[in-house]
Chain A
Amino acid sequence: MIEEAIRAAVGVFVVFNVVALSVLVLVLLERKFLGRLQQRFGPMRVGPHGILQTVADALKLLLKEDFTPATADRRLFQLAPFLVIVPIFLPFVTIPFAPGLVVRSLELGLLYIVAVPVVSALGFFLAGWASDNKYALLGAVRYAAVLVSYELPLLMGAIGVVMVTGTLDLVAIVEQQAAWPLLFAQLPAFLLFLVSGMAEGNRTPFDIAIAESEIVGGPFVEYSGMRWSLFFLAEYAGVFATAALTALLFLGGWNGPLLPPLVWFLVKTYAVIIVIFWLRGTMPRLRIDQLMNLAWKGFIPIAFLNLVVTGAAVLIGGPGPGSPLVILGGLATTAVSLAALSLALRPRRRSDVRIGFATRPGDDVADRPPAASHYSIP
Chain B
Amino acid sequence: MIEPGLQIVTADAADRVDITVNMGPQHPSTHGVFRMLLHVDGERITAVEPFIGYLHRGSEKLCEVETYRQIIPLFDRLDYLSAFNNELCFVLAVEKLLGLRVPERAAYTRIILCELNRIASHFMFFGAFGIDAGAMTPFMFGFRERERIQQVFESVSGARMMHNYFRPGGLNLDVPDDFVDNVRSLLPVLKRGLEDAHNLLTGNEIFLARTKGIGVISAQDAIDWSLSGPMLRASGVALDVRRDEPYSLYERFDFSIPVGDEGDCYDRYLVRMAEIEQSIRIVEQAIADFPGGPFLGAVPKLIRPPAGECYVRTENPRGELGVYLVSTGERRPYRVKVRGPSFVNLSAIQQLLVGSYLADAVLILGSIDIVLGEVDR
Contacts and interface: CB of A to CB of B under 8 A. Distances in A.
Interface in A140-175: none
Contacts of A215: 358
Contacts of B355: 374-375
Nearest to A134: B21
Contacts of B43: 138, 288-289
B229 to A, nearest CB: 14
A47 interface: no
Contacts of A365: 219, 236-238, 259
A143 to B, nearest CB: 13
A243 B19 CA distance: 39
A205 interface: yes
A18 interface: no
A257 B136 CA distance: 38
B155 interface: no
- A215, A349, A355, A368: residue with the most chain B Cβ atoms closer than 10 Å: A355
Contacts of B182: none
Interface stretch (A36-44, A71-79, A321-329): A36-44
A378 B20 CA distance: 24
A288 to B, nearest CB: 6
B270 A353 contact: yes
A226 B141 CA distance: 34
Contact of B136 (A138, A281, A371, A373): A281
A90 to B, nearest CB: 30
Given A40-B140, A216-B28, A287 B237 contact: no
Given A282-B135, A283-B206, A364-B238, A211 B261 contact: no
A182 to B, nearest CB: 28
A213 B29 contact: yes
Given A284-B207, A361-B243, A371 B134 contact: no
A371 to B, nearest CB: 5
B156 to A, nearest CB: 25
A356 B356 contact: no
Interface in A282-317: 282-290
A169 B358 CA distance: 44
A357 B236 CA distance: 10
Contacts of A280: 136
A284 B261 contact: no
Contacts of A211: 134, 359
Contact of B205 (A204, A216, A348, A375): A348
A138 B41 CA distance: 11
B134 A285 contact: yes
A218 B22 CA distance: 14
A368 B267 CA distance: 15
Contacts, number: 176
Contacts of B217: 371, 373
A350 B151 CA distance: 34
B208 A350 contact: yes
A212 interface: yes
Contacts of A283: 134-135, 204, 206
A359 B274 CA distance: 13
How big is the B interface, by class?
35 or more
B5 interface: no
A205 to B, nearest CB: 6
B108 interface: no
A366 interface: yes
A370 B236 CA distance: 9
B218 A371 contact: yes
A135 interface: yes
Q: Is the interface of A mostly helix, strand, loop or mixed?
A: loop
B339 interface: no
Interface in A220-257: none
A211 B134 CA distance: 7
Contacts of A374: 216, 355
A249 B223 CA distance: 58
A375 B204 CA distance: 22
B362 A213 contact: yes
A371 B355 CA distance: 16
A38 B140 contact: yes
A366 B218 CA distance: 10
Contacts of A361: 243-244
B210 A368 contact: no
Contact of A355 (B134, B223, B259, B360): B259
A212 B238 contact: no
B209 A290 contact: yes
B257 A214 contact: no
Given A289-B357, A372-B216, A372-B218, A284 B130 contact: yes
Contacts of B360: 287
A63 interface: no
B162 to A, nearest CB: 26
B261 A285 contact: no
B236 A286 contact: no
Contact of A214 (B215, B263, B359): B359
Given A357-B257, A376-B213, A138 B358 contact: yes
Contacts of A212: 28, 134
A354 interface: yes
Nearest to B212: A348
B21 A284 contact: no
A366 B270 contact: no
A350 B351 contact: no
A282 to B, nearest CB: 6
B226 interface: no
A208 interface: yes
- B141, B267, B359: residue with the most chain A Cβ atoms closer than 10 Å: B359
A373 B358 contact: no
A280 B214 CA distance: 23
Contacts of A258: none
Interface in A24-62: 34, 37-40
A284 B139 CA distance: 12
B219 A368 contact: yes
Contact of B137 (A37, A134, A216): A37
Given A212-B28, A359-B256, A373-B221, A207 B359 contact: no
A370 B221 CA distance: 9
A138 B201 CA distance: 27
Interface in A82-119: none
A366 B204 contact: no
B292 interface: no
B236 A366 contact: yes
Contacts of A39: 140-141, 144
7 contacts: A38-B140, A134-B19, A216-B28, A284-B134, A358-B238, A373-B218, A374-B216
Given A211-B134, A355-B267, A357-B274, 17 more contacts: A38-B137, A204-B136, A211-B359, A212-B134, A215-B358, A282-B135, A282-B200, A288-B359, A345-B209, A353-B266, A354-B261, A358-B238, A361-B243, A366-B237, A366-B238, A371-B235, A371-B264
